[in-house]
Amino acid sequence: MTGALEGRVALVVGAASGIGQAVAAAYTAEGAVVVAADRDGDRLERAAAAAGAASSVRVDVTDEASVTAAVQHVLDRHGRVDVLVNSAGVLDEGPLAQMPLAQWQRTLDVDLTGVFLACRAVLPSMLAAGSGRIISIASQLGLKGGVGLAHYSAAKAGVIGMTKALAREVAPAGVLVNAIAPGPVETPMVAGISEEWKAAKRAELPLGRFGVPAEVAPTAVLLASDPGGNLYVGQVLGPNSGDVMP
Ligand SMILES: NC(=O)c1ccc[n+]([C@@H]2O[C@H](COP(=O)([O-])OP(=O)(O)OC[C@H]3O[C@@H](n4cnc5c(N)ncnc54)[C@H](O)[C@@H]3O)[C@@H](O)[C@H]2O)c1
């Protein structure tokens, strides 16, 4: 570790598990002051301690007031938010022809509107500071689509589109906005999927295997770092085992 994020204040949303937890750990290892945020309080406490986070805060990204309060927690304690990582997400499956509106809406609420709310909440302080980094975990399914995953693919494509639009909007003011679109990564999110599906998926991947969270987190370090991340604006980086080659 090189201290690439020394002294940076980072809010990592979705830090109780998987990729968000690995990003929180990688950021603290690089010298950042991390505030770990998640909806799941028990797992959050454990994950925040394991990651060496400065503090943790409960947040439901679908709840506007909860997101505002989480960002205020960071501002009250640390005076600024240098980096926002959006890693909260949910995934379930279902063919679109039978998909209840509530299932569609729930996925859009967490995976897309949650990212919007968090971005909107941190932007005033980042714009006032004239600097900041926003990194959202999208998915390669937002680029290629997935069977039974129309809701999830739509939400992730939305994150990618929003990332590009927001990047154009705020880069002139010094705030750099980018996305990471991982391929399949071994986390609790994919733990419930059948071994048969996973074996077929692995066979499709040029690398022949899923990633692990620690292999995604360094991309989030790069995007937050100076000078490494300085020229990335509205980009979608793909640690994806070769699943998509844009
Ligand atoms: N695992 C994969 O294969 C994969 C691939 C591509 C993209 N992603 C994306 O990466 C991100 C992290 O996923 P993961 O695999 O680490 O999953 P995970 O289930 O391990 O972690 C997701 C976290 O989000 C939190 N969360 C869910 N709803 C929330 C809400 N309303 N408010 C606050 N927190 C909430 C959960 O409590 C959990 O801690 C997600 O956005 C996911 O869509 C995952």
180-235 per-position pLDDT tens digit:
999 999 999 999 888 888 999 999 999 999 999 999 999 999 999 999 999 999 99
Say how far apart CA 82 and CA 118 lie, in whole Å: 13
90-142 per-position pLDDT tens digit:
999 999 999 999 999 999 999 999 999 999 999 999 999 999 999 999 999 99
Q: Examine the pLDDT at 82 and tell me if it is beyond 90.
A: yes
Q: Examine the pLDDT at 57 and tell me if it is beyond 80.
A: yes
**Other C-beta atoms lying within 10 Å of the C-beta of residue 152:** 25
Residue 61 main-chain phi, psi, to 5 deg: -70, -10
Task: Tell me the best of 19, 180, 204 to mutate to test the pocket of ligand 1, counting ligand atoms within 8 Å of each CB and taking the most.
Answer: 19
Q: Is 34 exposed, middle or buried (0-12, 13-18, 19+ CB in 10 A)?
A: buried
Task: Note if 27 is an active site residue.
Answer: no
Q: Examine the pLDDT at 89 and tell me if it is beyond 80.
A: yes
Predicted pLDDT at 162: 98
The structure's pTM equals 0.98
Predicted pLDDT at 63: 98
Distance in Å, CA 85 to ligand 1 centroid: 12
Strand blocks (E) in 14-54: 33-38
Atom of ligand 1 nearest to the CA of 15: 39
3-state secondary structure of 237: strand
Task: Tell me the best of 13, 189, 210 to mutate to test the pocket of ligand 1, counting ligand atoms within 8 Å of each CB and taking the most.
Answer: 189
Token readout for 196 is 């048969």
Q: Examine the pLDDT at 39 and tell me if it is beyond 80.
A: yes
- All domains of the chain in start order, with CATH: 9-237 (3.40.50.720)
232, 223 Cβ separation under 8 angstroms: yes
Distance in Å, CA 172 to ligand 1 centroid: 30
| Nearest one of 160, 177, 163 to 224, comparing CA atoms | 177
Atom of ligand 1 nearest to the CA of 211: 3
Mean pLDDT of the residues in the chain: 97
Q: What's the Cα-to-Cα distance from 52 to each of 4, 123, 230, rounded to whole Å?
A: 16, 26, 26
53, 24 Cβ separation under 8 angstroms: yes
Say how far apart CA 156 and CA 232 lie, in whole Å: 19
Of the residues 27, 116, 152, 210, only one is catalytic, namely 152
Residue 1 confidence class, pLDDT cut points 50, 70, 90: low
Atom of ligand 1 nearest to the CA of 19: 16
